[in-house]
Structure 1
Amino acid sequence: MNAVLIAVAVMLVLSLLRINVVFSLIIGALVGGLTAGLSVAETIKAFTGGLGAGATIALSYGLLGGFAVAISKTGIPELLVAAILKLVRREGDSQKTGLAKTLIFLLLLMMAIFSQNLIPIHIAFIPLLVPPILKVLNMLQIDRRLIATILAFGLITPYMLLPYGFGAIYQEIVATQMGLSGLAINLDDIPGAMVIPALGMVAGLVIAFVLYRKPRQYKQQEVEVEKLQLNVKKSSVFFTIISLIAALYVQIETDSMIAGALAGITVLYITGALKWKEADLLLTEGMRMMAFVGFVMITANGFASVINATGDVENLVEASAKLLAGNVSLAVLIMLVIGLIVTMGIGSSFATIPIIAAIFVPLGLELGLSTMAIIALIGTAGALGDAGSPASDSTLGPTAGLSVDGQHNHIWDTCVPTFICYNIPLIIFGWFGIVYIL
Structure 2
Amino acid sequence: MLLNPVVVSVVVLAALSLARVNVIVALLIAAIVAGLMSGLSVEDTMSTLVGGLGGQGETALSYILLGILSVMVARSGITEKLIRWILPRIQGKRAMTLFGIAGLACFSQNLVPVHIAFIPILIPPLLTVFNRMKIDRRAVATALTFGLKAPYMLIPLGFGLIFQNIIVGEMAAYGMEVELSEISLAMAIPVASMLVGLVVAILVTYRRPREYRDAAPDLGVAAFGTNGASGSDTGWTRQHIVVLIALAVTLVLQVVFGSLVIAALGGVLVIFVFRGEHWRTSDELAHGGVTMMGTIAFIMLVASGYASVLTETGAVDDLVTAASGWIGDSQLLAAVVMMIVGLLVTIGIGSSFGTIPILAAIFVPLCAAVGFSPLATAALVGAAGAIGDAGSPASDSTLGPTSGLNVDGQHHHIWDTCVPTFMHFNIPLFFGGIIAAMVL
With normalisation by structure 1, the TM-score equals 0.91
Contact kept in structure 1, 2:112 and 2:255, CA below 8 Å: no
* Residue 212 of structure 1: aligned partner: 206
Which consecutive unaligned segments of at least 5 residues does structure 2 have?
A: 217-228
Partner of 2:188: 195
Which residue is equivalent to 1:98?
92
In structure 1, list runs of 5 or more residues that go unmatched.
Answer: 88-95
Inter-partner Cα distance in structure 2 for 1:275 and 1:227? 18
Residue number in structure 2 paired with 1:425: 428
Q: What is the match of residue 147 of structure 1?
A: 140
Mapped partners of 2:111, 2:232: distance in 1? 30
Cα-to-partner distance string for 1:268-291 (whole Å, 9 max, x where unaligned)? 222223344434422431233111
Q: Which amino acid aligns with 1:385?
A: G
What code does the residue aligned with 2:20 have?
R
For the residue of structure 1 that corresponds to 2:325, the secondary structure is helix
**Range that drifts further, 43-52 or 201-210:** 43-52
Residue 314 (structure 2) aligned to one of 311, 314, 320: 311
CA separation in 1, counterparts of 2:301 and 2:57?
6
User: Could you say which residue in structure 2 is the equivalent of 1:161?
Assistant: 154
> Is 1:383 matched with 2:386?
yes
Greater Cα offset, 353-362 or 77-86: 77-86
Give CA-to-partner distance per residue, 1:268-321, whole Å, 9 cap, x none: 222223344434422431233111121111111111111112323232223222
Deviation track 1:375-407 (CA, whole Å, cap 9, x = no partner) reads 111111111111111111111111122122222
8 Å CA contact 1:68–1:124 kept in 2: the answer is: no
Larger CA deviation: 22-31 vs 398-407: 398-407
- Count of residues paired in the alignment: 426
Q: Tell me if 1:110 matches 2:130.
A: no
The 2-side partners of 1:53 and 1:232 are apart by 45
Q: Counterparts of 1:162 and 1:181 in 2: how far apart (Å)?
A: 24
Q: CA deviation at 1:365?
A: 1.1
SS of the residue aligned with 2:57? helix
Aligned residue number for residue 300 of structure 1: 303
Q: Tell me, in whole angstroms, the C-alpha distance in 1 between the residues paired with 2:242 and 2:112.
A: 18
Query: Are the counterparts in 2 of residues 75 and 230 from structure 1 also a CA contact under 8 Å?
Result: no
Which of 226, 234, 241 is residue 244 of structure 2 equivalent to?
241
**1:413 correspondence with 2:426:** no
1:270 aligns with 2:263: no
1:196 Cα deviation from its structure 2 partner: 1.1
| Distance across 2 between alignment mates of 1:116 and 1:229 | 36
Q: Aligned-pair RMSD on alpha carbons?
A: 2.2
The residue that corresponds to 2:223 in the other structure is: none
1:83 to partner: Cα distance: 1.9
**2:101 and 2:72 mapped to 1: Cα distance?**
20
Q: Distance in 2 between matches of 1:237 and 1:114?
A: 24
**2:359 aligned partner:** 356
Q: CA separation in 2, counterparts of 1:260 and 1:219? A: 33
Q: How far off its partner does 1:103 sit?
A: 5.4
Counterpart amino acid of 2:281?
E
Q: Paired residue for 1:181?
A: 174
1:188 match: secondary structure: helix
Query: Would the aligned equivalents of 2:5 and 2:315 in 1 still touch at CA under 8 Å?
Result: yes
Amino acid of the residue matched to residue 27 of structure 2? L
Contact persistence 1:82–1:228 (CA under 8 A): no
Choose the corresponding residue for 2:51, options 28, 49, 52: 49
TM-score by length of 2: 0.91
Q: Decide whether the 8 Å contact of 2:250 with 2:263 is kept in 1.
A: yes
1:259 corresponds to: 262
Q: Which residue is 1:21 aligned to?
A: 23
Question: Take 1:30 and 1:179, find their aligned partners in 2: how far apart are those partners?
Answer: 36
- Mapped to 1, the partners of 2:278 and 2:112 lie a distance apart of 26
Letter of the structure 1 residue corresponding to residue 211 of structure 2: Q
Q: Is the contact made by 1:16 and 1:412 (CA closer than 8 Å) also made in structure 2?
A: yes
Separation in structure 1 between the aligned mates of residue 438 and residue 287 of structure 2, nearest angstrom: 51
**Partner SS state of residue 183, structure 1:** coil
**CA distance in structure 2 between the aligned counterparts of 1:124 and 1:284, rounded to whole angstroms:** 19
* Identity of matched residues, %: 47
Partner SS for 1:130: helix
Aligned equivalents of 1:269 and 1:356: distance in 2? 46
C-alpha contact 2:66 2:120 (8 A) present in aligned 1: no
1:252 shift after superposition: 2.7
Deviation digits for residues 85-133 of structure 1 (CA, Å, limit 9, x no counterpart):
335xxxxxxxx7323x355324422331122222222222222122222
